Amino acid sequence: MRYAPQILIVENEPDSLLSFEEALSAIGYSVAVANTAQQALMRLSGQPFDAAIVSLHLPDCDSTALIRQLHSNAPHMPILATSNWLVGTMVEDNLAAGAADVLLKPAPPETVLLRVYRLLDPSERWAGPVVENPSITRVLLALRFLTSGDPGDGNGGAEEDLTELLAYLGDDATGLSSEQIACLVIQREIKRQDEKPL
């Protein structure tokens, strides 16, 4: 059985929460949600997480202080801080508090996935979903390509893997850079997941 990375999302804005949750769940990552700082700390005390996405606009706390506390409680858990706006020293302050990265939202799903993927320990990145799924495999392949420039997983090599992504896109890949190809694969697969009937 493969390991599904555990991601904590600390977000109080419904649209952002839904966007993050759908993108991560679509590729088989396990997601836990907290809408407040207190809920986030309770979640973290109950289980370890591989990464966290934390809004800088929570209503019940100074989010930079929360990032500092989360980092103190779980120093090996990378944190992606998110904000609707970045002014003054917000980026520097949150990086100094323990965030590994800061993301301006709203952000397209492929950007969110790429940022979280980059934060994960390399041994967890390609672990992928518990259930084998060609759609999810393509997204993880594209994410790894964007991260390392080499989508090969040792089971056929980078050339064959890139050929698979190109074949999947068909004529839509004409004239696109490798990065654009990978992003388009991610966009299509997330859209397919969103369109599946419940």
Question: Side by side, which strands form the sheet with 30-34?
Answer: 30-34, 6-10, 51-55, 79-83, 101-104
Instruction: Count the neighbouring beta carbons within 10 Å of the beta carbon of residue 182.
Output: 26
Residue range 89-113: mean pLDDT, rounded: 86
The C-alpha angle 166, 171, 173, rounded to 5 degrees, equals 45
Fold for domain 6-122? Rossmann fold (3.40.50)
Would you kindly state where each structural domain of the chain is located, as residue ranges? 6-122, 133-195
pTM equals 0.73
More confident residue, 187 or 112: 112
Q: How many residues does the chain have?
A: 198
Backbone φ, ψ for residue 112 (5° rounding): -60, -50
Q: What SS3 state is found at 155?
A: coil
Residue range 160-189: mean pLDDT, rounded: 75
Which of 153, 127, 149, 145 is closest to 186 using CA atoms?
145
